[in-house]
Structure formats: structure tokens, C-alpha cells
Amino acid sequence: MDVTLDNTVLLVGLFGFLLVGVLVWLVLRFERARAARAQENEAIAHMVATMQASQQELAGRISQLTENQSQTQSALAKAIEERFDAVTERMGKSLEKSATDTAKTMGELNTRLSIIDEAQKHITELSGQVVGLQDILANKQARGAFGEVQLNSLVQNALPPSAYSFQSTLSNGKRADCMIHLPNPPGSIVVDAKFPLESYKELRNADDATRKQTERKFADDILKHVNAIAERYIIAGETAESALMFLPSEAVYAALHANFPGVVEKSYAARVWIVSPTTLMATLNTVRAVLKDARMREQAHVIQAEVRKLLDDVGRLDDRVGKLSRHFGQAEQDLRDIGISSSKIQRRAERIEELELEETDDKALPPGAGHLEIGSAKTTME
């Protein structure tokens, strides 16, 4: 019973101790929880204060940012407005310049269009003239007349009228297109115009199958003209030993010398020189130099006579210059003599003046003394 009671008391005491321990633990836990809660409250209050300060700082920054943004927007708006005004002004000037340049370009374009219209008119007229020239060249007689006209123009521009004649009739009854009068030798040279255009056209338009045939025909036509000129216009004792065949086309002349050297050599053998407008002009310039040299030789005796007269005039001029030099020498001597006489007269006048002064100073002297001095002075002067 006692043991049970002790055990009960012990259990009760143990239980009470445990209960007190639990209460103490709970109290400590509560205090700790309260302290922790107080710290949490302080931390929360600190955090709230920090958040409020941050909010105030954020509000200040937002306000500053808003103000800066407002200023930036104002500056940006002002800059955009200035840029827009500058761009507008620049665009206005550019548009004005573009309008001016466009107006100027349009004016130049109108001018050039008018020039083009005028050129088109000239081209149309030239086309008509070319068509007319083709019609002329299509006719054999008209083609011959064209060559003669060109020949006459070249000769008239290069030589004096006395050095040539057109359509001259020779002793054999043949009439030459042009005859150039040169002294003997070589004598007068006949120039005859030939224009083998038909055979040249056939040669130019020929294909490989017909080229040899057209070349042979072109060479035959040229040689036929060469032989005719040699037979008709080279007459011993009347004309030169050679004649000129005038081709009024540089193209025909170039084709002949480039592709038909045999024909050219045969013309040389026949003493017929084939010339084009360019080579004829060079030949006429040579003829003009020959004529000038011939005229100088004809006038050589006149020149010699004039030179002799010129030498006589030079001799007479030399004699007259010598006489004039001697006359100038005599005049110079006379001038020197006149100078000597003038100096003597001046010295005598000075002496007379000195004598008069002495006479004025010696008025108190006897008259005889003064006369004696004058006489002595006169004797000295003499």
C-alpha cells in the first residue's frame, strides 16, 4: 500500500515535474515566439518603412523621369519641328531649283527639238537631193555631165584661167573635156572624165559566184576608157606624151588601185594616168607650180634688166651720198671757222668793256694820258 502510494506520489511528482517542464517550455516557446514576432514586426515595420522610402524615392524618380520625359518630348518636338522646317525649306528650294532646271531643260529641249526639226528638214532635202543624184547617176549621159562639172570645178579652183580650156577641139576632130596648157616640154595635157558606175555597182553587189565575172567586166571597162583616151588625146607635136583619166569617185578609184593593180600598170604603159578628185587636186597644184616657174623663166631677162638698172641706181646713190658727205664736211669746217671768229669777237668785246671801265676810273688823268691808253689798246687789239 505504501509502495503503491509512493509510486503514485512519485508518478504524480514526475507528472507534475513534466507538466512544469512542459509549461516552462511552453512559456519559453511563447516568449521566443513573441520575441520572434516582435522581431518580425520590427522587420515588417522596417520593411514597410523601407518600402515607403523606396516608394517615395520611386515616386520622385518617376516624377523626375516624367519631367525629363516631358522636357525630352518638348526638345524632340522642337527638334522635329526645326528639322521639318529645314526639310520643308530645303524641299522648297530643291523643288524651285528642280522647276528652274526643268524649265531650262525644257527650253534647251525645245531649242534642240527645233534644231532637230530643222536638221530633219535638211535631211529630207538631202534625201531628195540624193535621190535626184541617184537619178542623175543612173543616166549615162547625165553621169558624164556630172563628172565634167566636177572636173571643171576642180580645175577652175586650182589654176588661173589662162592655164586651161574646156571642150577644146584637137587636130583629129576629137573634143577634150579639159586641156591644161603647159610649156614644152611636156606640152598641153588632156584630162578626160570617165565614170564606170554601172560595172562598179555590179562589182560591189556581186556574190562569190559572179565576182570573177564582174571583176573582169570592171577591168575591161576601165581599160576600154584608157585605150580610148590614149588613142584620142595623145597626139605627137600637139599634146603631151601622156593624158589624165579623171574618175569623179574616190570609192571607184580606191577599189581600182586596191584590187586591180594589173589594170593600173596597163594604164601606165598606155601613158594614161588615172586620177581621183583628191589626186587631181594634187596634180593641179604641181601644174600651178610648174606654170609659175615657167613664167619666172620667161621673165628672167626682164628681171636681169631691172637688176642692172637697180645697180646703176645704187651707184648713183653712192656718188650722191659721197657728195653730200663732202658738203657736210665743208659745212662742218665753215661752222668751226664761224665759231673761231665768234670767240675772237667775244674776246675783243670783253677787252673793250675792260677799257671803258678803266677810263671811267681814271677821269682825273690828263686827256693826253687817256688818249695814249686808248691808242695803245687799239694797237693791241689790232
E strand map for the chain: 164-169, 175-180, 189-193, 243-246, 272-275
- The secondary structure of 279-317 as a DSSP string is HHHHHHHHHHHHHHHHHHHHTHHHHHHHHHHHHHHHHHH
Q: Is the pLDDT of residue 373 over 50?
A: no
Distance CA 213, CA 204 (A): 12
183 or 222: which leads in pLDDT: 222
Cell numbers given for 211: 565576182
Residue 381 has a pLDDT of 39
Asked if the bond preceding 185 is cis, omega within 30° of 0, the reply is: yes
Distance CA 262, CA 186 (A): 26
Q: Write out pLDDT tens, residues 144-166.
A: 566 788 888 888 888 888 888 88
Structural contact between residues 243 and 234, judged by C-beta atoms closer than 8 angstroms: yes
Amino acid at the residue 240: A
Amino acid at the residue 308: R
The helix/strand count (H/E) of the chain reads as 9, 5
Q: Is residue 179 classed as helix, strand or coil in its secondary structure? A: strand
Residue 364 has a pLDDT of 47
Q: What is the mean pLDDT of the chain?
A: 77
62 half-sphere exposure, CB direction, 13 A CA radius: 6
- The secondary structure of 132-163 as a DSSP string is HHHHHHHSHHHHHHHHHHHHHHHHHHHS-GGG
Write the DSSP symbol of residue 237: T
Write the DSSP symbol of residue 185: T
Q: Write out pLDDT tens, residues 76-128.
A: 778 888 887 887 888 778 778 877 888 888 788 788 878 887 777 777 666 55
Residue 120 has a pLDDT of 74
Residue 296 has a pLDDT of 74
> 261-295 burial by CB neighbour count: b if 16+ within 10 A, else e?
eebeebbeebebbbbbbebbeebbeebeeebeeee
